[in-house]
């Protein structure tokens, strides 16, 4: 999207999920294969802006090792912002999250509402916002995009996101499978609309976005999980709604008001809603004949994939890539 808008784009990624491409291909842009913890000031010189999305990106991964989540999501993010500022990068757009609000109940939440994260992932996002905001000055302008829960088809689609997951179960198993009691509120936003928000923040006048947080999504796109299940039920033929035997309330419950981004960032024009997204997902799953093993196995389930990489010696427990010699030693121990 940024390339089509005429921007010169370079990607930095550790490529943990290089084996996880679902469909299509990744954009042809210059790419640096590097862990966020290893980025140096030379990697950042000459750029006008950084769009920072690198993180352990869901709650199961965050719970794998809370200290590691802090190291990558929080400490490395603040270090990245500090290096970007030193390198002369003017704009720093951080991928924060509505998970910051955590357990919040039925109230509509604005960017001024209190934080109440309930997971290591959510806490890490709060800490980055708080620490990076202190770096803001006339030469360095951070912006914090608190995205709602993502959904939608992409080359490295995630099946662990609520709408993506519900449609996958409905198509592959004929049941809309709910792991909670369906009562929690959740705002959702298509990945394309999240991308539109990043573009709008990077292109907006600096005074509009300087040291500001924005809830990313549409205010009308807040749903109870059971409402999303009903949408999926009405989208996927022949499925039924089913609750897990241990389904109970989910502590994560929040509704967000997205009027600030609508008024302050007129360049942000979201186009998706839950029904359109459910249809897109259903058509993609049907086209690729997705099976339960696909989204519950090691290829597309993030936590399972990471555990497999550790088990096979591709990375160590700190998610660092192992050398060829180190991998051989791991393989030898596995055989023994």
The residues, ordered by sequence, that sit 6+ positions from 20 with a Cβ below 8 Å of its Cβ are: 156, 299, 300, 305
Give CA–CA dist 291/297, Å, rounded. 10
More confident residue, 218 or 306: 218
Structure tokens at 134: 């202190």
Q: Which residue has the tokens 């196995």?
A: 297
Give CA–CA dist 49/53, Å, rounded. 13
pTM above 0.75, yes or no: yes
Beta bridge partners of 186: 223
How many angstroms separate the Cα of 265 from the Cα of each of 5, 91, 138, 192, 256? 17, 16, 21, 16, 17
Give CA–CA dist 266/17, Å, rounded. 34
Q: Is 319 left (phi over 0), alpha (psi -120 to 50) or beta?
A: left
Q: Is the dihedral of CA 244, 302, 316, 319 positive or negative?
A: negative
141-147 and 212-216 strand pairing: parallel
Question: According to DSSP H, which parts of the chain are helical?
Answer: 59-64, 66-69, 76-86, 120-133, 162-173, 191-203, 206-209, 225-235, 259-264, 274-288, 292-296, 302-311, 324-335
200-207: average pLDDT: 97
Q: Lowest-confidence range among 42-56, 270-284, 317-331? A: 317-331
Residue-by-residue DSSP string for 301-334? -HHHHHHHHHHTTSB-TTSPBPPHHHHHHHHHHH
Q: Say which CATH architecture domain 10-300 belongs to.
A: 3-Layer(aba) Sandwich (3.40)
| Residues listed for the chain | 336
State pLDDT tens for residues 99-148: 999 988 889 999 999 999 998 999 999 999 999 999 999 999 999 999 99
State pLDDT tens for residues 68-79: 999 999 999 999
Quick one: pLDDT at residue 300?
87
Going by pLDDT thresholds of 50, 70 and 90, the confidence category of residue 62 is low
Residue 79 near residue 128 (C-beta atoms within 8 A): no
Give CA–CA dist 115/122, Å, rounded. 9
Q: Where are the domains of the chain?
A: 10-300, 301-336
Rg of the chain (C-alpha set): 20
DSSP assigned state of 289 = T
Q: CB 62: neighbour CB atoms within 10 A?
A: 24
Structure tokens at 25: 């291909």
Strand order in the sheet with 149-151: 149-151, 185-190, 222-224
| pLDDT value at 334 more than 70 | no
How many angstroms separate the Cα of 30 from the Cα of each of 12, 14, 24, 27, 326? 9, 14, 18, 9, 29
Cα of 218 vs its chain's centroid, Å: 17
| pLDDT value at 336 more than 60 | no
Quick one: pLDDT at residue 60?
67
Residue 55 near residue 105 (C-beta atoms within 8 A): no
Question: How far is it between the farthest Cα atoms of the chain?
Answer: 63
Quick one: pLDDT at residue 299?
87
Give CA–CA dist 199/187, Å, rounded. 21
Q: Which residue has the tokens 């490295």?
A: 156
More confident residue, 28 or 279: 279
């Amino acid at each position: 999207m940024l390339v089509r808008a005429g921007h010169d784009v370079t990607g930095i990624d550790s490529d943990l999920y290089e084996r996880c491409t679902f469909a299509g291909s990744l954009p042809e842009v210059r790419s640096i294969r590097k862990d966020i913890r290893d980025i140096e000031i030379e990697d950042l010189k000459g750029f006008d802006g950084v769009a920072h999305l690198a993180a352990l990106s869901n709650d199961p991964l965050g719970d794998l090792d809370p200290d590691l989540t802090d190291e990558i999501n929080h400490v490395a993010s603040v270090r990245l912002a500090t290096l970007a500022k030193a390198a002369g990068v003017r704009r720093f757009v951080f991928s924060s999250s509505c998970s910051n609000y955590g357990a919040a109940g039925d109230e509509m939440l604005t960017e001024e509402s209190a934080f109440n994260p309930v997971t290591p992932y959510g806490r890490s996002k709060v800490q980055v916002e708080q620490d990076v905001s202190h770096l803001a000055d006339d030469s360095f302008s951070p912006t914090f995009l608190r995205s709602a829960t993502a959904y939608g088809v992409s080359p490295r689609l995630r099946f662990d996101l609520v709408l993506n997951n519900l449609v996958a179960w409905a198509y592959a198993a004929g049941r809309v499978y709910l792991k909670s009691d369906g009562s929690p509120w959740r705002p959702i936003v298509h990945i394309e609309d999240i991308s539109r928000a990043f573009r709008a923040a990077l292109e907006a006048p600096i005074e509009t976005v300087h040291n500001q947080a924005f809830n990313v999504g549409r205010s009308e796109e807040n749903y109870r999980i059971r409402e999303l299940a009903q949408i999926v039920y009405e989208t996927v033929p022949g499925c039924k709604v089913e609750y897990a035997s241990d389904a109970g309330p989910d502590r994560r419950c929040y509704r967000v008001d997205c009027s600030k981004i609508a008024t302050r960032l007129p360049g942000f024009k979201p186009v998706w809603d839950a029904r359109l997204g459910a249809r897109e997902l259903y058509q993609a799953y049907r086209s690729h004949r997705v099976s339960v093993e696909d989204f519950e196995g090691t290829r597309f389930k993030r936590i399972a994939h990471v555990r497999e990489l550790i088990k096979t010696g591709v990375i160590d427990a700190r998610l660092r890539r192992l050398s060829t010699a180190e991998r051989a030693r791991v393989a030898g121990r596995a055989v023994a």
